[in-house]
Structure 1
């Protein structure tokens, strides 16, 4: 359920008793952007409302009444927010920095990214073309790495052009291509931190690999049984009976071979 910073406290308190999750939308990551496109919004007010919401959620989660009974559930799914991508000039570093701060300060469960799409009779200040959906997708991927793969923001933005994520490669693959000296990773010896950085290997699969290693060594056939994308991981891993040639990692063609096709506009051309 969505709420707003200046909503009546009694209404927010009641909403939290019925909603699984409450959302106070930031909309844009900077006050300058809000001043231009949504001057009625104030980041300090939004931040204060999120802080109050966090306190209320924590109060109901951790407190008990004098009878020993727990307080009723209040927004048990926590709180979330949304940011519009491509409406203002904010780059990906600015957007992700805002997300990291929101996760750290208010323990948000999720930041949603929504690519800007123009509508008829909109303000002339707004862009005429929609933001590419691939940019929205890349931000979600980067957000996932920050929350579940132990990546730091400066790692994700390593080598970024103009503080923008690579549109041709997903963020983990882009990081791996920029740090080829760390590969191939020996799946039988690498720690969890490094395993999580191998392109094509997810967090759950890392746990399966660690479990298998307690009973024996991984072989190429085991990777197929784990349903891993073998062609994607092939340049970046080694096991008992397989190791990529140095030439495979060093070739300039590796980046191009793993690039994804550019997003096409509905009526032709490139976005």
Structure 2
């Protein structure tokens, strides 16, 4: 590979790592006419080697030049970093060459904004168009939509990309104005609305005409940065819930803020809030697949997720009056709310109990995590463990094992002896 291209790749691949809003699940682009690649079925997923290298998606920026000065962004115009930019043809050649070598199965392409939104967006679209039309590339393509780009360019992007995404980045207009004053929510939400409308229109056209072109078949997504601004978990999840409902997003991705520049508007932290990010992902999963609403997970009185335990267990400990659940008679929706029981296990339970009463061994074989579930369920009215512990004691048992309670009692006794002595 040419040394100049190698240098660009090093710079622009490194800059792209801060964007987590890339996923290919949901795409079903078949390989036809002896083309290259295939995004059939579940599409392309992130695939990592044992040493941590990602080998499935070529994830790069078209350029890290940017006219904006967002405080949290590594490519901000005031940041003293080495700049680079690919040409359209260079990105196309890299994608094809890497695919032929079996390094990748798809492309995630984002960009800093140089000149203006349309100028940048037009080049992103040209990359996808060249891959599809000139090289018959049928692998997965995810394009970042540039806020402020014209509806015509967004529509064209959706004809060649499997997924489009518009990053909101910050969870409130107030924070956006403080940390990224050149941006505003209106310019971000407008393309989201345009993509949603195009998705609905494409679906209707497909029902009438089988040959109608697909539009971003894997839908749209966005990214929220966690920890760069002061919003709590309740505010973040409320915004995500609104985006899912109003813009039919496939995914909201959460990225723990990585301290990349010194700016007095940003919090002083030494490492990204990874655990908090993970808890928010778990809460998002509960909203999307487990029937929870935001207010059940966090509310104004309890705006932060418990970092020690997952949100589902947290909800169960706050709602002990709803347990235990009898596995053989409870509704599917209630079984889903039992800690340690996932969607697949819940479906297996509902299906299997039609033929025979289930016991704890059956649940273990179905993949139920009894370490958690045993405190919240009964099987044929039988319990596996005492369920009369208070919530704090139960939380300790689940986190540290049965011995934690005995240890806590022993500590209390020793403290009492010390006081008496």
Deviation for aligned residue 1:123: 2.5
TM-score w.r.t. the length of structure 1 is 0.88
Q: Per the alignment, do residues 64 and 135 of structure 1 end up closer, same or farther by CA in structure 2, a change over 3 Å counting? A: closer
Match status 1:13 vs 2:159 = no
Q: Is the 8 A contact 2:144 2:166 kept in 1?
A: yes
Q: Select which of 254, 257, 268 maps to 2:394.
A: 254
Match status 1:236 vs 2:376 = yes
Q: Per the alignment, do residues 151 and 173 of structure 1 end up closer, same or farther by CA in structure 2, a change over 3 Å counting? A: same
Greater shift, 105-114 or 43-52, is seen at 43-52
2:172: which partner in 1?
A: 30
Name stretches of at least 5 consecutive residues in structure 2 with no aligned partner: 1-142, 401-421
Q: Is the 8 A contact 1:159 1:178 kept in 2?
A: no
1:47: which partner in 2?
A: 189
Match status 1:84 vs 2:216 = no
Residues 117-266 of structure 1 aligned to structure 2 (within 5 Å): 117-119=258-260, 121-129=261-269, 130-157=271-298, 161=302, 163-240=303-380, 242-244=382-384, 246-250=386-390, 252-259=392-399
The CA deviation string for residues 163-219 of structure 1, in whole angstroms up to 9 with x for no partner, is 111111101000000111111110001001110110010011111100011101101
1:269: which partner in 2?
A: none
2:56: which partner in 1?
A: none
Moved over 6 A (4+): none
For residues 153 and 259 of structure 1, what CA distance do their matches in structure 2 show?
25
Greater shift, 237-246 or 184-193, is seen at 237-246
Q: Is the 8 A contact 2:154 2:191 kept in 1?
A: no
Q: Select which of 236, 241, 258 maps to 1:95.
A: 236
Between structure 1 and structure 2, the one with the greater Rg is 2
Q: Is the 8 A contact 1:115 1:132 kept in 2?
A: yes
For residues 152 and 296 of structure 2, what CA distance do their matches in structure 1 show?
43
SS in 2 for 1:63: helix
Name stretches of at least 5 consecutive residues in structure 1 with no aligned partner: 261-271
Q: Is the 8 A contact 1:180 1:249 kept in 2?
A: no
2:418: which partner in 1?
A: none
Q: Per the alignment, do residues 116 and 152 of structure 1 end up closer, same or farther by CA in structure 2, a change over 3 Å counting? A: same
Query: For this pair of structures, how many residues does the alignment match?
Result: 257
The CA deviation string for residues 71-111 of structure 1, in whole angstroms up to 9 with x for no partner, is 21110011100000000000011100100110000100000
Q: Is the 8 A contact 1:60 1:70 kept in 2?
A: no
Q: Is the 8 A contact 2:345 2:367 kept in 1?
A: no
SS in 2 for 1:258: helix
For residues 175 and 69 of structure 1, what CA distance do their matches in structure 2 show?
46
Q: Is the 8 A contact 1:81 1:111 kept in 2?
A: yes
Which one scores higher on RCO, CA 8 angstroms, separation ≥ 6? Answer: 1
